[in-house]
Amino acid sequence: MRTICFANKKGGVGKTTISTHAAYLAAVRGNPPARVLFIDIEGQGDATGFFGVPRHGIPSICDILSDGVPARDIIRKTKYDNIDIIPSNDELDDYVIGLTKDQDIVQQDVLLNALKGLEDEYDLCIIDCPPAYNFLVLSAFRVADSAVVVSIPHIYSEQGVEKFNERVRLAQSLNPAFHIDGVLLNSYRSCSSSHHSIERIEQDTGLPVFAEKIRYTAYHLEAAAESGRSVFEQSPSCGFCRDMENWFFPYINGEAEMV
């Protein structure tokens, strides 16, 4: 099972949109379709809702954190046949705060222990990380093979990439194989400020930037969200869908081009 985190220290860059649609592509349009486990560790639970799973009244990531419940007992089917999920809800942030103070828990091993025995049941695990660097994010890096840093062409997002990159060394002390695959630019417009954003990311962080970018298509994203469907089901020929396919399949096959 290959495990990929989608992350940035800055919120509002589209991590959840990118990660959920990456899971959709792998499971629905992959050749062959992949068996995907999606782990939602975002306190808002937007990915959980995207996959048609209730955000309340069912076991969630909170039960793994508070009681050490195995992931196998938390996993739920989604509306897509090949995608299962460990759901989240809006109580997650309270659990994280409480457990941060609990010195009896080896916090960075929470997900590692919960996922034991699932390695052969899925082809791909995608983790949607919150815009933070708490023990839960560190726990995600502990089990992940790599991370995709999602950014937008904006100075604050770029600073989030830089801060995130500074924390990677700590993650690598626990998981030496963990690395950043690259920075994926979302909400991209072809203009001078966007080109300067790429230059700043490369200069300030030294991280590679994917050549394929996800263009700004807010209307189609909003229409899909309102209809409760993926953008691929709502507007399959829109720029977002074309860009996601052009990025994801070369990336997952190790053939993505970098700037």
pLDDT at 180 over 80: yes
Q: Is residue 50 part of a domain?
A: yes
Q: Is residue 143 part of a domain?
A: yes
Looking at residue 101, its pLDDT comes to 60
Q: CA–CA separation, 185 vs 56, rounded Å?
A: 33
Mean pLDDT over the full length of the chain = 91
Mode of pairing for the β-strands spanning 146-151 and 179-185: parallel
> What is the extent of the structural domain holding 242?
2-252
Q: What are phi and psi of 120, to 5 degrees?
A: -95, 0
Task: Find the mean pLDDT for residues 60-80.
Answer: 93
Q: Is residue 259 part of a domain?
A: no
Looking at residue 248, its pLDDT comes to 98
Looking at residue 24, its pLDDT comes to 98
Looking at residue 3, its pLDDT comes to 98
Looking at residue 5, its pLDDT comes to 98
Looking at residue 116, its pLDDT comes to 93
CATH number for position 76: 3.40.50.300
Looking at residue 102, its pLDDT comes to 59
pLDDT tens, position by position, 71-107: 999 999 999 999 999 999 988 988 887 776 655 556 7
- Look up residue 114 and give its two tokens: 């919960």
pLDDT tens, position by position, 183-240: 999 998 887 777 778 888 888 888 999 999 999 888 999 999 999 999 999 999 999 9
- Ramachandran class of 4: left when φ > 0, alpha when ψ lies in -120 to 50, beta otherwise: beta
Looking at residue 106, its pLDDT comes to 64
Q: What is the count of structural domains for the chain?
A: 1
Task: Find the mean pLDDT for residues 132-143.
Answer: 90
Which strand (E) or helix (H) includes residue 77? strand 76-77
pLDDT at 121 over 90: yes
Task: Find the mean pLDDT for residues 13-35.
Answer: 97
- The secondary structure of 32-67 as a DSSP string is SPPPEEEEE--TT-HHHHHTT--SSSS--HHHHHHH
Q: Contact, 126 vs 38, CB < 8 A?
A: yes
Q: Is residue 114 part of a domain?
A: yes
pLDDT above 70 as % of the chain:
97
Looking at residue 38, its pLDDT comes to 98
Q: Is residue 257 part of a domain?
A: no
